[in-house]
Amino acid sequence: MRFICLAACIAITLLSSQVSATEQEQKEAAENKAEVLEEKAAEKGGDLPVAKSEAITTSEVQAVDPAGVAPLDDAITCLARSIYWEAKGKSSADMEAVASVVMNRLGHEGFPDTVCAVVKQGSESKNCQFSWWCDGRPDTVQEATQYAIAKEIARKALNKQLNDRTNGAMYFHDRNVKPDWAKKYLKTTETEMFLFYKPKGGEAR
């Protein structure tokens, strides 16, 4: 009987280690793919479809930062957290639109060429482009389901599988506020919670 219990414990341990190894492999695959995809997205004329072999899969993206506590140093985590903190609990249209704004900024004149740099832009001067990054509050995830949704939207955005419902917007604000800067830009569309804009002359400010 003791031998059977010991054998069962060993089997469970081996199975757990195999699952952990698989999750680690999926995480690394997703992060490596995301790095390539953000580089391509930042290039001029980088609108070609993503090859199936280069696309991040659903299981791969969910293996990245599963607890929502990892440092923001890879494209998936930075994009997913931005979607999460800007639009968690909102409609999928709101969340997808936030993702599109980040991707539209990527590599555009006046903006950085990596997702994390886009999300963190302005923090050095306390003039953050995305308010959640500079609000002084913890950036760890609080709702696992909402974060899983945000990661799936981030996956589609990086894979160029997300329809840009913002029509090329690079700015947005909550519809309950009326910032002065909005007057300088062309409004492209609205969602339930946000209004979206792009530069009138095509250049970021």
| Sequential pLDDT tens for the chain (205 residues) | 544 544 444 444 434 444 466 889 999 999 999 999 999 999 876 678 899 999 999 999 999 999 999 999 999 999 999 999 999 988 999 999 999 999 999 988 889 999 999 999 987 766 788 888 877 778 899 999 999 999 999 999 999 999 999 999 999 999 999 999 999 999 999 999 999 999 987 555 5
Instruction: Provide the edge-to-edge strand list for the sheet that holds 171-174.
Output: 171-174, 194-199, 185-190
**Confidence at residue 132, expressed as pLDDT on a 0 to 100 scale:** 85
Query: How would you label 150-188 residue by residue, b for 16+ Cβ within 10 Å and e otherwise?
Result: bbbbbbbbbbbebebebebbbbbbeeeeeeeeeeebbeb
**Confidence at residue 45, expressed as pLDDT on a 0 to 100 scale:** 62
Helix (H) or strand (E) holding 64: none
**Confidence at residue 9, expressed as pLDDT on a 0 to 100 scale:** 44
Between CA 106 and CA 108 the distance in angstroms is 6
β-bridge mates for residue 199, sequence order: 185
Query: Domain extents for the chain?
Result: 2-199
Between CA 102 and CA 43 the distance in angstroms is 15
Query: What pTM, to 2 d.p., does this model score?
Result: 0.86
